Amino acid sequence: LRRGQELRLTCVAKKGTAKEHAKWSPVAAVAFEYDPHNRLRHSNFWQENVGSNLAEEWPIGPNGQLEDPPNPDEPFDYNAKPSRFYFTVEGTGVMDPKDVVVMALKLLQAKVALIKMLLGQIRETDG
């Protein structure tokens, strides 16, 4: 603007949620992993160079260093289920990712408590 010029405008602030539009989401990306060593064999890894070492083409990530590597001699457990889940949350800078996760868990806990209460009321009325 030049000296002596001015703008006249009207602004509207709207509060929203990420369900309506992504611009209100404090999270840019979320990733999860539950089996870094592929013990459950849910992933099939391809090899570019046939005969190459699978471990060289598919190195273990940082989450795999938090778990003991599998013993190659132990038999496959068909009833095994994942017991650890690793989440990575990347924020947009609006909130700290840790705060986003804590708030999301609190909201989830409140929703589960509401469902539990309503189911209890239904059970009382059905008697």
- pTM value surpassing 0.85: no
Count of CB atoms situated within 10 Å of the CB of 122: 9
List pLDDT tens digits, range 79-127. 989 999 999 999 999 999 999 999 999 999 999 999 999 999 999 988 6
List pLDDT tens digits, range 74-85. 888 889 899 999
3-class secondary structure per residue, the chain: CCCCCCCCCCCCCCCCCCCCCHHHCCEEEEEEECCCCCCCCCCCCCCCCCCCCHHHHCCCCCCHHHCCCCCCCCCCCCCCCCCCCEEEEEECCCCCHHHHHHHHHHHHHHHHHHHHHHHHHHHHHHC
